[in-house]
Amino acid sequence: MAKRFSIRQQTGFTTIACACFFLLYLPIAVLVIYAFNESSSVSDWGGFSLRWFVAAWSNQQVVDASWRSLKIASSAAVIATIAATMAALATTRTRAYRGLTFKYAFINQPLMVPEIVTGVALLIFFAQIKIASGYTGLGYLIAAHTAFCIPFAYLPIRARLENMDLTLERAAADLYATPWNAFRRVTLPLLWPGIIAGLMLAFVISLDDVVITEFVKSGGQDTLPTYMLGQIRRGITPEVNAISTVFLLLSVVIVTLFFFMSRKRD
Amino acid sequence: MPDTPGKNAIEVRGVRKVFGTGEAQVAALDTVSVSIRENEFFTLLGPSGCGKTTLLRLIAGFDFPSEGEIMLYGQDIAPLPPFKRPVNTVFQSYALFPHMTVAQNIAFGLEMLGKPRAEIDARVAEMLKLVRMEKLAKRRTSQISGGQQQRVALARALAPQPKVLLLDEPLSALDYKLRKEMQIELKRLQHETGITFIFVTHDQEEALTMSDRIAVMSSGKILQVGTARDIYDRPAVRFVADFIGETNFLDARIDSVDGGKAKVTLKSGATIAATVADGFKPDGEATVVIRPEHAKAVKGTGDISGVVENVVYFGTDTHVHVKLDDGESFTVRQQNTRGAMMEFERGERVGIVIGDDAAQILKD
């Protein structure tokens, strides 16, 4: 019998794979290593030290930007996930009709429209509202982040709903569950992994955003990414490396937590 | 069995169900009326696409009729949503809640009805005992076998004591042996609970062995309703005769009709007695049906005659396939007994004797 085709046995497979991994992880590794640099240079190693973590921690601007980022990301992620859950229910628990595909595209619009366009549009739009209302708080950033987070929360939730056996909801109704009870007792518990996945994804996307935030923020509303961008313009110190390292750690923790949570459910 | 007029649990009156609109309209149910009695094991039998599942869904409330009424003990339930109907369903796929234990699944309906905890617990224990699943109460439904899932689905649907239990081909996912066991189990449960069962199947053997009465359906219509015996021995139309068991069709001329009895002359010239469906007045030409085991092959002359084409030995019985003189085929099934074997050979001329009560005149 002929040997089955296996990509692993092709010449050069290992080399290409290693090259890809190097390209992905080497810069990150360098960044993390230089976060522990004693010297103020990001290219000359001056011995191990935690001084840049301490420096970042005691920099009031960094602390403020971090809190702002977390506030915006958690608010936007929660609101976006609620909206996405409702949108997913409305677009899956229905018979196919003319215009349903258009609705999918409409919900996922932020994935297709260039961020720079959304950024400029929101800048102009919010400027009008700011003048009219006088309100200049974080609400604008939360609203903007919610808007572009919705498709990221929507996709995993819709996938989960589409894979769910519709007969289960029918069985619940057959056993005297009102639509609300059927949702609360059957649909929602089965949907949780999708909702959590959507929430995490939305949170990470919001935390990371630069372009739209840069356009929408008012003075003194720097998030961590826009603060870092501003710092780099003035010259890089290992303080930025230290902040990035903490950021990276946070992401890894979130993803790991989610992985274990979803595994426990199955 | 004579018709014993009891209370009707379900009365389906002139129900039509149309899917689609305009040109693409399809009638899944074409003006169906049927009464299902209290405590009855009633079966809807027919090939896939005949409308039996549609009718069940209308009774359950997962769909609403385009026309007509569905009465449950005198109350029209057709416009009610499923959660307001005292009717429960056993689904083909069981549809057990995967995030709940066996006991939680069974308790679900009672919880939704707002029963007190003590009553729920007692009822769940009772149900677990009824389906012999006490030991697996705390298991997840993914950790039990197909047959056990079937029992849980039954217990869950029976727990709220519905007025009618609907079963949508519940045995089709089980292997042959388990299916036989569950057939007996279902009969026992129906007997012990006294609940009216409406059972949907495409398996004629299942229908014949389990049901008090059967409705045979085809193309959105109910063709005949009756006991297994009625349906098998006295099929009213060609489809029913053909769908259930093996059968022979013969063309005949009606000589005389007297109530439920008639005299017909076959093409061979022989005159035989035949029965007529209630309220049907045949005249002129008609088709009669004769079950293979209700006729006998003999050496010599019978009512009809022909040449043996094939003899097939089945252990309990032997099938003799005969080509009649007019070119039609006819099958005779003879019980095998040790010693007294009637031997036929291919090419041999045989006569076929048709019993006095063997032929039935079809309406079509």
- Residue A254 belongs to what domain range? 60-265
Verify whether the Cβ–Cβ distance A170 to B112 is below 8 Å.
no
Q: What pLDDT score does B152 carry?
A: 94
- pLDDT tens digits, one per residue of B158-191: 999 999 999 999 888 888 888 888 899 899 999 9
CA distance A260 to chain B (A): 18
CA distance A186 to chain B (A): 7
In a domain, A126, yes or no: yes
Buried/exposed A166-179: b ≥16 CB within 10 Å, e otherwise: ebbbbbbbbbbbee
In a domain, A109, yes or no: yes
Pairing of strands B213-218, B41-45: parallel
Which residue in A165, A175, A190 is closest to B112 by CB distance? A175
- pLDDT tens digits, one per residue of B282-329: 778 889 999 999 998 888 888 888 999 999 988 888 899 999 888 889
Q: Search chain B and give the residue with CA nearest A187.
A: B97
Cβ of B82 under 8 Å from any chain A Cβ? yes
Cβ of B109 under 8 Å from any chain A Cβ? yes
Which residue in A174, A177, A190 is closest to B99 by CB distance? A190
Q: What is the mean pLDDT of each run of 10 residues along chain A (266 residues)?
A: 69 88 91 87 82 89 91 96 94 83 86 91 93 89 94 92 91 95 94 90 90 90 90 82 89 80 59
Please, what is the average pLDDT of chain B? 89
In a domain, A68, yes or no: yes
Q: Search chain A and give the residue with CA nearest B61.
A: A174
d(CA A40, CA A59): 16
Verify whether the Cβ–Cβ distance B83 to A167 is below 8 Å.
no
Q: In this model, does residue B19 exceed pLDDT 70?
A: yes
Q: Residue with structure tokens 């489809």?
A: B239
Q: In this model, does residue B4 exceed pLDDT 60?
A: no
CATH number of residue A180's parent domain: 1.10.3720.10
Verify whether the Cβ–Cβ distance B83 to A190 is below 8 Å.
no
Chain B residues touching residue A193 (CB < 8 angstroms):
none
**Strand segments (E) across chain B:** 8-19, 26-37, 41-45, 67-72, 75-76, 87-90, 164-168, 196-201, 213-218, 221-226, 248-258, 261-266, 271-276, 285-290, 295-298, 304-313, 317-324, 329-335, 349-354, 359-361
pLDDT band at B2 (very low <50, low <70, confident <90, very high): very low
Domains of chain B, by residue range, sit at 8-233, 246-361
The domain total for chain A is 1
Those of residues 154-183 in B touching chain A at CB distance below 8 A are 156-157, 160
What sign does the CA torsion over B129, B133, B139, B142 have?
A: negative
Q: What pLDDT score does B330 carry?
A: 92
In a domain, A32, yes or no: no
Verify whether the Cβ–Cβ distance B156 to A175 is below 8 Å.
yes
Which residue in B60, B97, B98 is closest to A174 by CB distance? B60
Q: Search chain B and give the residue with CA nearest A189.
A: B99
The mean pLDDT value for B1-26 works out to: 79
Verify whether the Cβ–Cβ distance A175 to B88 is below 8 Å.
yes
The mean pLDDT value for B97-122 works out to: 95
The whole model's pTM is what? 0.81
More confident residue, A151 or B337: A151
| Chain A / chain B CB contacts < 8 angstroms | 60
In a domain, A65, yes or no: yes
CATH of domain B8-233: 3.40.50.300
CATH match of B246-361 with 2.40.50.140: yes
Predicted ipTM beyond 0.85: no
